[in-house]
Chains A and B, each alone.
Chain A
């Protein structure tokens, strides 16, 4: 990945046009709802403008190359964890949040540097990247011992571990995928597919939604929306087959399942956390979307599953 390669990469170019056309179609549809059907769309327009901004920034970062992509993903993870810490009250414990930030930064570094013993193909230190879960948990458990404290520490330990593993490490896979030979195809596909699946779930739910999916977790989600989104997610791997031309039908099927079910499970798992804490959104960083974490929730769940699925069948780097 580098700007020179990006300019001539057919996959990235195709995605550029796909995203541009999707945004144009979405804009036209919103305009139709607003001006022909005369419905209230102010909040949807806010969400739409944010989508344009996200797409623009995303393309610029991926275009700039491997290291900017990894740095971008690491910064997103740091900010998403900051939101999580503020929403759960963990931010008052500087030591724990500091340990998690250090862990997230190390995940980013492990994605950038190569194995110093040179035993791995391509860039990125996969061994350290995977081992970081153990190292970070060891560091987090060390903190109460160093501070000689036990009261209420289990809560902080749990919050810090879920914060690191879920937000830092699992989401960090997106950065590590920048080391793959097929980086553009994988990264563009997984981001585009989870985003489209989210929008599809919202749209189907709005149009034909009747039966609540998980009434105790997220009252606005419906079975109709979830199944519609699953349908979209299952057809996408075949429609966008150019992203991973070496995938067989079994891998395409698994990709569909991971995005269609995994993405929505990611959405629901963040909803469980929000419900228990008692907030509606993790923060209000992106107008019309909520916090960074509310936006990347489905990616967090789907990206590691996708990367390890692809890594099981094909040499990635």
Chain B
């Protein structure tokens, strides 16, 4: 009889708190179950409390890898974008979260791992490493990356400049990029407020784009970032406010 091979998790000798910060994670059924269950509750709450609505749902129907690019003014944004995905794809969706904010304290880490399955993104130092991690993930078909290219929550509700990293990520690669605009999250839960308020929140999903024929030099990735910003901004409803 040949030797039986066990494949223990790599983090078997790490303390639970250290394990939370690990990426890629090795979740088991309990984590998946908790995440799906809390996703259902979050969806229900968004629907009732914020009258959440999704426009352009069909633009997310793909079995290939997808990058969702959106404006960012609130913690609600991530929840809204996740709520637009089918539950089956939830565990393959990774919202990029600032590692200097979300991966510092245990409650935030816990929320980042269990609730949203966040990907630690170093926005200050080692951006390149984080980007190559994103590329590795995208190489598996079916991965969904959620990226806020402004790099932080907007304090005015306007869409800020997009960082060129988003261009570097998608330039010359055959991956779909769906621009998304979240309307109302600024009024519902602005930066600095403790709890969300019952204001209407809407998500607009635009037609996916592809930048596989674009070059990867500095001008090109800057242009892609600017184009994506315009695409997101164009989705803003004309009579709506932010």
A residues with a Cβ closer than 8 A to B are: 78, 82, 85-89, 91-92, 94, 97-98, 101, 155, 276-285, 287
Tell me what chain B mostly uses at the interface: helix, strand, loop, or mixed.
Answer: loop
Question: Which secondary structure characterizes the binding site on chain A?
Answer: helix
| Interface contact B9-A97, CB-CB below 8 Å | no
Smallest CB separation, A154 vs chain B (Å): 9
Q: Are A87 and B16 in contact (CB under 8 A)?
A: no
In contact, B16 and A91 (Cβ under 8 angstroms): no
Cα–Cα distance between A130 and B6 once the two chains are bound (Å): 30
Cα A277 to Cα B6 with chains together (Å): 6
The interface residues of chain A lying within 8 Å CB-to-CB of B15 are 284, 287
Q: How far, in Å, is A158 (CB) from chain B's closest CB?
A: 9
Q: Determine whether the beta carbon of B29 is less than 8 Å from that of A87.
A: no
B interface with A by C-beta (< 8 Å) = 4, 6-9, 12-16, 26, 28-30, 32
Contact B13 A101 (CB under 8 A): no
A89: chain B residues at CB < 8 Å are 6-9
Give which listed residue, A92, A94, A279, contacts B12 with CB less than 8 A: A279
- A283: chain B residues at CB < 8 Å are 12, 16
In-complex Cβ contact of B28 among A82, A285, A287 (8 A): A82
A-B contact count (CB 8 A): 53
Q: Are A87 and B4 within 8 A (Cβ)?
A: no
Selected from B4, B8, B32, the residue in CB contact (under 8 A) with A86 is: B8
A163, B115: Cα distance in complex, Å = 28
Residues from chain B with a CB closer than 8 A to the CB of A98 are 29
Q: How far is the CB of B213 from chain A (nearest CB, A)?
A: 38
Instruction: Note all chain A residues with C-beta closer than 8 A to B30.
Output: 78, 82, 101
Q: How far is the CB of B159 from chain A (nearest CB, A)?
A: 40
- Which residues of chain B are near A88, meaning CB under 8 Å? 6, 8
A281 to B28, CA, bound (A): 19
CB pair A285–B9 under 8 Å, yes or no, is no
Contact A94-B4, Cβ < 8 Å, known A86-B12, A283-B12, A284-B14:
no
Chain A residues with Cβ below 8 Å from B12 are: 86-87, 279, 281-283
Complex A-B: 30 CB contacts under 8 Å: A82-B28, A85-B28, A86-B8, A86-B9, A86-B12, A86-B26, A86-B28, A87-B6, A87-B8, A87-B9, A88-B6, A89-B9, A91-B9, A91-B26, A94-B29, A94-B32, A97-B28, A101-B29, A101-B30, A277-B8, A278-B6, A278-B8, A279-B8, A279-B12, A279-B13, A283-B16, A284-B13, A284-B14, A284-B16, A287-B15
